[in-house]
A and B are shown apart, each in its own frame.
Chain A
Amino acid sequence: MSGGDDMAVWMQARANERASGLHRGDKTSRTITSFSHPLSAALSAPRKSNPWVEILNDGGYRSDGRRQYELRDISIDLAQQGTADGSAVLTHGLTQVLVTVFGPREAKMRSQTLHDRAVLNVEVNVLPFSTGERRRRARADRRMLELAATIKTTFEPVVQTGLYPRSEIDVFVHVLQQDGGLLQTCINATTLALATAGIPLLDFVCAVSGGVHATSPMLDLTTLEENDLPHVTVAVMPRTNKVTLVTLETRLHVDRFGEIFKLACEAGQTIHKEMRRAVKSRTSALITAMGGGLGHGPGADVLERDIVMDDVHTNDDF
């Protein structure tokens, strides 16, 4: 917790330092020379909804020090969790989501199976300590059911369920930490978990959230920004640029919506690059581990390796 607080202090200090114009345009400087009180920065800016923190200040910086179209840090962990067939932990800024996938496997209830394809079940579990305010949600909470239904409809056309009739694919989403952009993180993590489980997909699904502050569009909103701005979440399939999900729960002008929609589709490509990199490095690590077993050991000279390892690096498509 001291780490989190330190980071919050440091980020606030950086934001204030930039807002006061000390290091304008100087990307290399990282030292913090002064820590001005947030009130002084707020007093210098014109109209803002929250008197203590500005959404976007005159220098073009947001409350956490990012620029308008800058996405938060993404870190992906594809290590195995428990006995799940596929799992992924995606940390997008301060929002952390763990998704585990089981399947395709025999359905728990035969009555719910379909004769020609697999059934995709999504369950969302928001842990009570994920937000600043502890809230113990019942399993059938409406918001969680809505989130689960949204994820399910996003992935139904993408997962090749026709290959597995009368079976079930279970996706369990656990929200470990929330700081805005929950739906986008859940969708990205689900894509990675399905890929790790070896379930055939038509393409990756990359989601990004965006909002509009006055007339300036912004990408990847934190909780602070989501509470104040109208925001939209867009999920794209990057290779074909097809959109599988657009959600908007607040009011937004049609022109503004067009801008932010285009931006979000482009941002989906950036996230796609990160996800591909993570999956490739995980796959090559696994292949090296397998290759190590085949090439060494007592039966090595007898066993012929018929897999060409170079395919991992030269093959561009997935």
Chain B
Amino acid sequence: MASASTSLSKAEKSYIHSSLCSSPPLRADGRSLFDFRTVLLETGVAPLANGSAKLNIGKQPHEGGGGTEVVAATKLEVEDIENGDGVEGGRIICSVICSPSAYPHLSSNALDELQYDLTTILHQTLSDSSLHPPNLGILPNKKSWLLCIDVAVLADAGNVFDAIFMASRAALWDTKVPRTRPIEYQARGLAPSGAADVEMDTESGQQAQKSSFDTRDMIKTAADFELPDYWDEGEVLGGREQWPVCVTLNILPPMHYLDATPSEEASTPLRLLLAFSFPPDSPAVLQAMRLLGPGELTVAQLKAFTADGEKYARELFAALEGKLREEDLRRNVKARDRFAAR
């Protein structure tokens, strides 16, 4: 992984190692081993996307900058199943873009490699069939949605994986799928009831006996679809409680810690990424695990870290969910009240 943003001398590395291993453990900003820095989240930052979120870990308060800043956005496109790349039931593509201002010391080739690494990890975790949302199809065997998740890393101050997964989860939570209605075109004279309309939609039925509002059978024969309401954003993307959160355990055997700053990351390059999903009323599911960096772990250590990781991920999940619901409230209910009161 070509993401070492700071170069440290051996003396600095050993200084950080010894303070992490001391008792009580000491970190440069005074946090405990399992404390996260302040996480700022805002949803709905890209009005042209179907869902978006901006996340910042560790921004200095009071006009300060810094921190890991990540913007994620989801976009839905229509795909043809017969003639194009579409898949029955829709598909998901993820991509990560690293801004050169986040990694000013890297050349553009190294930046591309880093982008590719981050994209692979995100794509393989989120496009898994166990997380596939149920409402990504439009017309069976004809058209489906392609969900594109784009994440842009604008600044990196450590812990970029957690930021990427949290922002993706927030953007997916915020995603609205436009409602579609199947329509069918029929030539004159073919319909038994003698319907003279060239375009038949749900308003005029096919047979006199059937109710004209019954569109259930039409979806099998429909050739195209329309958006019934132009201004409606649509329904929420299904399965949004399942999207995973990731915790990065920075490992300095035998101990581990969370949310590393750039100098800490440079001194303890061995990391374990764990992506957990917490579906409601079910036990936690480990969606992805990656061991990055030079170093080795015994299987017993790995099991212990995984169990610890689940605890941290659960807290992170609960906090993120609380904030997402609060953001929903701010943007929908309160915005509507303010607009009505103008």
Q: Which residues of A contact B (CB under 8 A)?
A: 1-6, 9, 30, 79-84, 87, 94, 98, 100, 102, 108, 123, 125, 127-132, 134, 136, 139, 170, 172, 174, 176-177, 285, 289
Contacts and interface: CB of A to CB of B under 8 A. Distances in A.
B99 A125 contact: yes
B112 interface: yes
B155 A81 contact: yes
A131 B48 contact: yes
B65 interface: yes
A10 to B, nearest CB: 8
Contact of A102 (B48, B52, B104): B104
Contacts of B44: 1-3
B48 A174 contact: no
Q: State the majority secondary structure of interface residues on A.
A: mixed
A1 B50 contact: yes
Given A83-B104, A174-B99, 4 more contacts: A1-B174, A83-B66, A127-B150, A177-B48
A177 B66 CA distance: 22
11 contacts: A1-B47, A1-B176, A2-B331, A6-B339, A81-B101, A82-B101, A83-B65, A129-B49, A129-B52, A177-B46, A289-B63
Contacts of B69: 81-82
Contacts of B231: 5, 9
Contacts of A81: 65, 69, 101, 154-155
Contacts of B342: 30
B128 interface: no
Contacts of B100: 123, 125, 170, 172
B interface, size bucket: 35 or more
User: 3 shortest A-B CB distances, which residue pairs?
Assistant: A80-B65, A82-B155, A4-B47
B56 to A, nearest CB: 10
A129 B75 contact: yes
Contacts of B331: 2-3
Contacts of B49: 1, 129, 134
A89 to B, nearest CB: 11
B22 interface: no
Nearest to A170: B104
B47 A3 contact: yes
Contacts of B71: 127, 176
Max chain A CB contacts within 10 Å: which of B69, B104, B335, B336?
Answer: B104
Max chain A CB contacts within 10 Å: which of B47, B63, B150, B174?
Answer: B47
Interface of B: 44, 46-52, 63-67, 69, 71, 73, 75, 77, 95, 97, 99-102, 104-105, 107-108, 112, 148, 150, 152, 154-157, 174, 176, 231, 233, 331-332, 335-336, 339, 342
Contacts of B233: 1-2, 5
Given A83-B104, A136-B150, A129 B46 contact: yes
Contacts of B108: 139
A94 B231 CA distance: 19
Contacts of B157: 82-83
Contacts, number: 116
B232 to A, nearest CB: 9
Contact of B66 (A9, A82, A102, A285): A82
Contact of A108 (B47, B73, B99, B107): B107
A153 to B, nearest CB: 20
A9 to B, nearest CB: 7
B75 A127 contact: no
A131 B231 CA distance: 18
B65 A87 contact: yes
A5 B47 CA distance: 8
A264 to B, nearest CB: 27
A134 B147 CA distance: 11
B95 A136 contact: yes
A130 B331 CA distance: 21
A125 B336 CA distance: 34
A176 B52 CA distance: 12
A200 B332 CA distance: 45
Nearest to A174: B99
A2 B46 contact: no
B47 A134 contact: no
Max chain A CB contacts within 10 Å: which of B48, B99, B112, B342?
Answer: B48
Max chain A CB contacts within 10 Å: which of B49, B66, B75, B155?
Answer: B49
A262 B336 CA distance: 43
Contacts of A174: 99, 101, 152, 154
Contacts of A289: 63
A127 B171 CA distance: 15
A129 B66 contact: no
A129 B154 CA distance: 14
A5 B176 CA distance: 13
Nearest to B111: A139
B185 to A, nearest CB: 23
B174 to A, nearest CB: 8
B64 A82 contact: no
B287 to A, nearest CB: 24
A80 B154 CA distance: 12
Contacts of A4: 47-48
B134 to A, nearest CB: 22
Contacts of A30: 342
A174 B99 CA distance: 8
Contacts of B51: 1
